[in-house]
Amino acid sequence: MQLWGIDGPGNIPVGFVIVLTAVLLFTGLGRRTLSKVGNQTYEGGVIDKWGGFHEGKYGSVPFYRVLIEKKSGERIQAVISSDEYQRVRVGMIATRNGAQLQFREAPRSVSGVNATNF
């Protein structure tokens, strides 16, 4: 059996299947939409936040991110500052208008449960 060549009429080469599978995985087909958006306008709920460190030539550099889900289900990863990271909580409403990203508390219902109607 040949890896890259056709080993008989009607047979798909194994190498071709491996390459095709790798391309589909790396292009993100079949995954939920995750966008990195710069200067768009949107509104959604903060569903996760995290931070970490990038290792660079001159040492570690911290980074902070939030994951925002729009009403359509699209998820957007946004870069935030360390001050915003300290202030932002999961469940808040995020609004981006151009380059400005703002966070506000979600409205509360009478029972005290967050109303996530963005």
Specify whether 38 is located in the same domain as 63: yes
106 contacts 115 by C-beta, under 8 angstroms: yes
Mean pLDDT, rounded, for 46-61:
93
Mean pLDDT throughout 4-14? Answer: 58
pTM score, whole prediction: 0.59
3-state secondary structure at position 95: strand
Residue 40: give the domain boundaries.
Answer: 34-104
Q: Is residue 111 part of a domain?
A: no
Domain membership flag for residue 59:
yes
Q: Does residue 46 sit in the same domain as residue 86?
A: yes
Q: Which of 103, 105, 110 is nearest to 85 (CA)?
A: 103
Indicate the DSSP class of residue 91.
T
Mean pLDDT (whole number) for 23-52: 72
| CATH code of the domain covering residue 48 | 2.40.50.660
Looking at the structure of the chain, the number of domains it has is 2
Task: Indicate if 15 and 54 belong to the same structural domain.
Answer: no
